[in-house]
Structure 1
Amino acid sequence: MEALRELINQAFRVESFFKIGDRLDAQSAQALFRTGRFMVAEENGALAACVYVEIGGRRAYLGLLSVDPSRQRSGLGRRLISAAEEFAREMGAHFMDLRVVHLRTELPPLYEKYGYTVSGTEPIPEAMKALVSMPCHFIRMSKPLGCPGPRP
């Protein structure tokens, strides 16, 4: 779990212009392990990338897509997104949802390239407001996954 937290926090350091502290602490990581799954990619025995997937019936949630900064732009993120979508489809989900902080203006166009469209906005929860240094909100994005395939 510690290697996973280190990878996520390293990948999300780009948010330090508005995010106070680490992106994921031990307590939050444990909570995520109880509600969803982390999919990981390893290269040469080291953790290279991960993504969190939570299944909620016909809808799934994708979050914390993290690629080791030295391996970014190598296709790992794209492969993990595809694997997460396939996993969600196999689990019966028809849609994959995600959310990005509006201050990360590079992210909506990136996810649009993978077939996601903006589906709305939502405020930052009160509990998170102490963890950001400027006003912000979430942009919700969604992608239809098509009909789920049969479970093996």
Structure 2
Amino acid sequence: MKTMSPADDDRQNPLPSSSGKGPDAGMPLGARRLVLIGGLCVPVGLVAGPYLLGLQLLAVGGVVAVAVALSYGPGRTWFSRWSWLTVAAGALWMAATIAYWGTIVAAADASAPLSGWSTVLFYIGVGGLVIMAAATAGGVLTRYRFRRTAAAAAAARG
């Protein structure tokens, strides 16, 4: 009688490329690099932000990079439609944050109240952040469904 470990049993690990190789093995190299760069930008921006206000934007850029990395798609090309939507929404959030920051600095330099545009820019930035988060969640759910479908197909064959 041969005893099998759970790793030897195909039914225990039904993913199509459970060996760690192939296009569906895990997070692609480009996405891993974005997580590394974004993960380093966030704490640097948070620590340096109180000293140089513009460096807080580095933290925003880091969050965008990590969100783009997490929205990767299944298959050979990791940069999916969800990634493009995440990039566009992240760019909108970044541009609105820069413009909002500019209106705050201009009002402080002139010792004047904030203009009406600052509120609009703030809400545009919040909208970009929400869309970016939704696109990242869409990418994660797409990968989850793809892997579940592939696992079900592998279980039906074997």
Q: TM-score range by the shorter chain?
A: under 0.3
Q: Which has the larger share of helix?
A: 2
Whose Rg is larger? 2
Q: Which has the larger share of strand?
A: 1
Q: What's the TM-score once normalised by structure 2's chain length?
A: 0.27
Q: What's the TM-score once normalised by structure 1's chain length?
A: 0.28
